[in-house]
Chains A and B, each alone.
Chain A
């Protein structure tokens, strides 16, 4: 069953798209990540032009994160104040990212930039996550309790201190602003929500209470993804509503399956699995950058 996508201008099997949305949705239900880092590369593999894949990916992330955030709002595990500070940074980062994306498109280096960003970030995050979860699973086997030290580092010496009651923090507003901006920038260039970067940053850099990390991250991702979608729609005209709709339907169903499967699996094994998936995507994209392509020439559009 093929479906013609009006903006991507290609005809793609709708069942493949549904399965893709469902598969990625399941992972996000299992692991609590948006899954954008898988969605965008997979869309490109299916034959969606990279520019459309990135922009439409952010639209799908807006849907997924809104759905997730509503659940966290009911459980009161969203630190609105922290989320808002990060969001202010995120809006600036996203605006810069959309402009950077348009520029990259003009000089014909979108694929390269997107590919490089993916390889670097997936490699670092996947590697850290694998090391950390292997360590944790060894600790669990030994029977020792996992502990987390609240370190007092240079971050706590910065000015403009604010009190974040729900996160149980009294820190400068600068680090959340910077993290927010970085995530916004990445969201626009890579078509991801940035959860896989933001969650570790909130825990390890800011030392936030873990109970509010996921909800707050989703709060910030929602607004950045919505803003980025808007930016791409206006600047690049690359948001494919038809594609987004199919992906969202698949993703919603997948997320429910994933959320039900989650409790039946062991948490440590799950995290090792996620780390391996992240590293596998990283290796595949890295290989594509290095190996000799079968066609040395690429066609692009002339703009302006």
Chain B
């Protein structure tokens, strides 16, 4: 028993005393996608809580907002008989539908390579391909890069270096733009407090993104009762067609 206590004391002593902690909040607790949704701005703000005077050196903050991960099929186009055809697909096991990072300085200066690996922060760390087909060995990297490139072009992935402003070594703020082509689901906002590229503390908050109102209704109808939705769509079309015909006859006899 004493030995166990001793071991516990030793373990506690070996742990670094967390002199700094990060407390943060988001300007929105959820994002609602309605008919007029054209994207949203998330304002991330917070403070660095200290129990001791700040150590030497500058403090860094990194904000990462990640959308729900889904497998994605990547195909490379090939020319066959003069036209471009989609080649065999490589299923990527997980790629976030959205990924935004904001940092105080250049990405690699803010977070070291090992910390990046440990906390899965960088884009190359969040996209996972576990079982690559044999023929892919040489091109594995190309396919993974393609996911990042295509999603960057769609405005779904981006890194905003210098996007986080720290004032007085104590307060910080960042503005992250969510584009209009968002996918529903639970988004995760992670706020890292770093010193010399090492993570000191992490704060995590879930940001649900949901369709609301008519968007919610139509989407769930289409997926949960497709037959009813199909019939309703056709009836709507017929009603519109009949109304057009009736109006036309009324105004132009």
Contact = CB atoms under 8 A, between A and B. Distances in A.
A63 B240 contact: yes
Interface residues of A, number: 58
Chain A interface main SS type: helix
Interface of A: 1-4, 6-7, 9-11, 59-60, 62-68, 70-71, 108-109, 111-112, 116, 226, 229-234, 237, 239-242, 244-245, 248-249, 252, 255-256, 259-260, 289-290, 292-293, 295-302
Contacts of B75: 108, 297-298, 300
Contacts of B38: 2, 4, 11
A66 B241 contact: yes
B226 A237 contact: yes
Contacts of B72: 299-302
A62 B226 contact: no
Contact of B237 (A60, A231, A242): A60
Contact of A229 (B147, B180, B234): B234
Q: Chain B interface residue count: which class?
A: 35 or more
Contacts of B84: 112, 289-290, 292-293
Given A109-B85, A229-B237, A298 B229 contact: no
B29 interface: no
Interface stretch (B158-166, B196-204, B242-250): B242-250
A293 B146 CA distance: 14
A232 B229 CA distance: 11
A296 B77 contact: yes
Contacts, number: 191
B74 A6 contact: no
B231 A230 contact: yes
Contacts of B229: 233, 239, 241
A230 B183 CA distance: 25
B233 A297 contact: no
Given A226-B238, A233-B222, A4 B74 contact: no
B140 to A, nearest CB: 13
A11 B77 CA distance: 27
Interface in B188-222: 211, 214-216, 218-219, 222
Contacts of A67: 240-242, 244-245, 248
Given A7-B222, A67-B240, 20 more contacts: A2-B37, A6-B214, A9-B181, A63-B241, A234-B226, A234-B230, A239-B222, A241-B233, A245-B240, A252-B247, A256-B248, A292-B84, A295-B146, A295-B149, A297-B76, A297-B143, A297-B146, A298-B74, A299-B151, A300-B75
